Every structure is written in C-alpha cells, then in structure tokens.
Structure 1
C-alpha cells in the first residue's frame, strides 16, 4: 500500500515536496505523486495540500488524510470528501514562528504609525506624532489556536495589553482570554488593533463586517492573517472612508491573486501582502507529516485531529 501526495501544486512543487518527503519516508513505505501514474487502489494515506474537489473520493482504500497546510477549510468544503476518514492538520513550529513574525510586524507597523509617516513622506512633511508605549495600546486577537495563541503570547511579551477570544474558554499567561458572545463583544470594543487568526467556518465567514467595525474604538487598526472570506470587503472600505478603521493590513483575500483592478491595491488605508504571512515549508513540514503517518500506522493517537463539525 502507498502514501499519496496530492494537492493544488505545480510540477516544481511536487518535485520539491517529493525530495523532502523521501528524506523522511519510514522504511517499507512507498510514496506516489498525483501528477504521475499510480494505482488508486493501493493508496491508503494521502498527504494533501488543498487537493482539488472530487479527487480524494477517487481512492477507495483511503484510510487517513494528513494535511500539509495548517488550514483545512478548502478541503472540508469539498462535498465529495469521504466523511469517515480521519484528517489531521499540520502543526509546524516553523510555520507558527513565521505567523508570529508577521503578526508582530503588522501590529508594530500600526502601533508605530508607519502608514501615517509614509503619507507624510510623500508630502515632504516633517511632523512628529504622539506615540503611546505598547502597554498603552490594546491589541485583540481573534482565535487562540496554535497560531493565534502563539501570536497573542508574543504580542504580550513585548508589552502590548493583549486580549484574545476563542470559541471555548482558554488560559494563556499574559493574555486576557475571553470566549462566548459577551466575550466577543468585550474584545472588539476594547481593541485598538484587532488581529484575526480565526479558522474559517460557516460561523466565522464574513465576521469582519460593518457591525464588527462599528463596535471597534474609533480609528482602530485591523490585521487579517487568516482567510479572505472572513472579511466583507465593501464594509472595510466604508469603515476606512468614515475613519472608523484607520488602516488595515491584509494578507489574505477572497480572490487570490488579488485582481489588478481591485480597489485595495491603491487604497492609502490598506497594506496589501500577497499571502506571505506563513506557509508550509517542505523542509520542516515533511518530517512532521510523516511522523504523524507513522503514528497512524502504529495505531497510536495522531496529532491535531480535525473535527469536520467544527470546521477545523
């Protein structure tokens, strides 16, 4: 029986992943690639990177799916996805570190008012703006999973007053952890900078909307590093026009690549990043994924199991 690598990958990506997977492949295992001829009946395990809808249903003997990405929302939206097969997400310290770095950079960009200084530079205007210290800036983090929790901890570690929200109650040193509807209301109302790291589920789709923006403190900053479909784009543009939101750092978009004619590109209140906050690096992810495969083969508990009912 074999392990399949399948995803929305080009030939170069397949070759890169193959190199790193073979370096960690357990003895006795066979790796096959979806872009090469292979026996569908022999596949028991799939290593997946956003596989096109309908593809996993072609493997009648599939028993375990290991995602090579941290997010699994696109895969779970596949109506043909076999429902009884266990799925694991990727939890990679290297990916987490990359997300922490991007969250820190984005929050510091807003905290230190760099967009305002960029605009002043364009006008050759020398004007020093009042600058609070980090402890005087309230940062809210939506989502306290592996990525959100690490980002909240790092932000608190450099002095920000950090609150975090999660679906279920959590406890993180240095972070005021909130949950439930009342907790969400409190977090939004007290976030000078709001960072979104929620998983994308039916409940969170479109959560960054006019109602949420209206509950933020006047002139709050927004950082979206999660999914583009969390954001109602027209509502953000309106909130920027009114001054309710002062600036937004966006790494993810409903359509990617972001179309050249999209208004976000030229908007002075938006910093566009081309989905670079964090990505799965084959150098580290291959080993972690195959370690989980070995646990599955040995009948041991696998890590980061997905609950399809929750969407992550």
Structure 2
C-alpha cells in the first residue's frame, strides 16, 4: 500500500528536501507518494514547517502524524485545530551544529582570542589564558541540544552545571531543577548558555533578578530563543559591567532591526540565527524513521508533550 506524504513547507524547502526524503523513505522499504499537493483527506503524514500555508488541520481526516521540520514547535503546538501526534525535529546534524557553535564561542571568549586577533602589529603580551578546569559553565535546558552541549563542554574540562524544569541525570554534569535549582545554577555561571524551549514559563528567564544572581563578569550565550532574555535588563547589566559579554544568535524580532542597540554594543556579538540548522540529508532520516514507525504501529520518535509545549 502506498503511503501519502504531504510536504507542507516553502517551495525552496521542497527543492532541498525532495531528493533525500525520497531516498531515505525508499531505503526503509516504504512505497510512498511524496508531494506538495495531495488532497487533505488522502494524506497519511504531514512533513511540516510552521510557515507553510497549512494552518487548519481539521480536514486531514486520515493523517497519522505531523512531522515538524524545525526543532522548535512553539509556532504550531498551540494550534487549536491540531489533534494529531506532533513530532519535533531531532537529528545528528542539528545537534552537532549547536555543539560546535556553543563550544566555539565559549572558547573564543575563554581564550581571549579577540585580543590577539585585533591587536596592533608588534603587540607582545604573553599572558596565558585560564584553564577550563577552573571555569564554570551553566547550561539552561537539558533537552537533546542542551545535554549534548553540556556533555561536550564537560569533555573539554569545564565545570558544567545543567538546569531543567524537571530532574535530569547526565553523567559528568551537575544537574539541577526547579526554582531553587535555577538560582543555584545561575550563581555558578561564569558562562550561561540558554537552550530552553520558548514557552510562557521560560519567557524572560534571564531578567534583571536572574542576571543579578550571576557572578560579576559572567558571559551569556543565547542560541535558544530570543524571548528567553529580557533585552533591557541585559543591556543594563552589560552597561554597568556586571555582565562582561553576550553572544546572541536569536532575537524577538528577526532579522534583528538595524537600529537595535545590540548591533553597536561593544560587549555584544550578534550572529544571524545560524547556531544550528536542519540539513535535509540528515533530517530526512528522522522523518523516514518516524513514517516507518507509524506504519509499523511503533511509538513515534521525539513526540511533543502538548501540555508542556515541547
């Protein structure tokens, strides 16, 4: 029996995904019709990006699941017409990209690379950088991406504390949870990496009181979600010197407006939402495996908890 897979995303994404998606689904022995124009009542699976034209799911009467192309699901999880299982995107390339961005930017600051790169010719200042053994990193959010980053940083010798809303246990990481745990995690954050999902409970996680809990001279990296940070509070903390530097990849408005203070602030590094990206060759494997599982009656991978919002 042929499985009908609707690709509901932008035209450019379809051009990117069509070849690897066909390849990976066929490799699992599944006969599939994959297209962008299948009648709703004939669709078995929806490969979905929240910026697609599909917003009403009530007509997809035989569909078994919505397979999100993005790691974040905040743009779809609250859709009142969606009653199908929803799976978020997790793939090795997405995780590896985040690990590389986080470790790279922490090492840039930790080793003081900018001072040497920007130093005038002839400058000779032989001061050794600190060691990771003596440096504390807090990772807020211990999902797939946060756990991978925390583990990689611990592997480089950093003292890593991780925080999540519910208890976690990760080898080599001091894992904290709950409101009291958040305060303790921030208190030991020479570096703070934000990898929480965007939910009403996580908005402005780094507000003025939270920033005040961090050690003077702390550095912040936000490759997670823009609303996790109270922008005015962060700018105040940077201006008064309590926070030394912020490296930011995500923002409340994207692209970041050209007149935003972050662009010109000497203690801020802006990157254009490139910390991690789904890559079709890898994420197609995740999609294909979930289709196989659906056809075999097995549990889907990376199923979203609709009540938690992620």
Equivalent in the alignment of 2:286: 288
Q: Does 1:209 align with 2:211?
A: no
Equivalent in the alignment of 2:70: 69
Matches within 5 A, 1:202-241: 202-241=200-239
Matches within 5 A, 1:294-309: 294-309=292-307
TM-score (norm. length: structure 1) = 0.91
| Distance of aligned partners of 1:261 and 1:103 in 2 relative to their CA distance in 1, 3 Å threshold | same
Q: CA deviation at 1:63?
A: 2.7
Equivalent in the alignment of 1:3: 5
Output the CA distance in 2 between the equivalents of 1:210 and 1:50: 32
Q: CA deviation at 1:68?
A: 1.7
CA RMSD of aligned residues (A): 2.0
Equivalent in the alignment of 1:103: 102
In structure 1, runs of 5+ residues without a counterpart are none
Output the CA distance in 2 between the equivalents of 1:127 and 1:221: 23
Number of equivalenced pairs: 304
Output the CA distance in 2 between the equivalents of 1:129 and 1:238: 30
In structure 2, runs of 5+ residues without a counterpart are none
Does the 8 A contact of 2:163 with 2:182 survive in 1? yes
Moved more, 20-29 or 188-197: 20-29
SS in 1 for 2:185: helix
SS in 2 for 1:253: coil
Moved more, 42-51 or 228-237: 42-51
SS in 1 for 2:264: coil
Output the CA distance in 2 between the equivalents of 1:71 and 1:134: 31
Equivalent in the alignment of 2:138: 140
Output the CA distance in 2 between the equivalents of 1:125 and 1:239: 31
Matches within 5 A, 1:265-280: 265-280=263-278
Output the CA distance in 1 between the equivalents of 2:58 and 2:19: 25
TM-score (norm. length: structure 2) = 0.92
SS in 2 for 1:59: coil
SS in 1 for 2:146: helix
| Distance of aligned partners of 1:254 and 1:81 in 2 relative to their CA distance in 1, 3 Å threshold | farther
SS in 1 for 2:7: strand
Q: Does 1:114 align with 2:113?
A: yes
Output the CA distance in 1 between the equivalents of 2:231 and 2:115: 22
Equivalent in the alignment of 2:39: 39
SS in 1 for 2:119: helix
Equivalent in the alignment of 1:157: 155
Equivalent in the alignment of 2:245: 247
Does the 8 A contact of 1:54 with 1:81 survive in 2? no
Output the CA distance in 2 between the equivalents of 1:300 and 1:38: 25
Does the 8 A contact of 1:134 with 1:159 survive in 2? yes
SS in 2 for 1:303: coil
What CA deviation, in whole Å up to 9, does each residue of 1:63-114 have, x standing for no partner?
A: 3111122211122243x441x3111112211211111111101111221233
Q: CA deviation at 1:58?
A: 5.4
Does the 8 A contact of 1:100 with 1:150 survive in 2? yes
SS in 2 for 1:121: coil
What CA deviation, in whole Å up to 9, does each residue of 1:156-203 have, x standing for no partner?
A: 001101110111211111111111111111110111000011111110
SS in 2 for 1:96: helix
Q: Give the ranges of 4+ consecutive aligned residues of structure 1 lying more than 3 Å apart after TM superposition.
A: 51-54, 114-118, 122-130
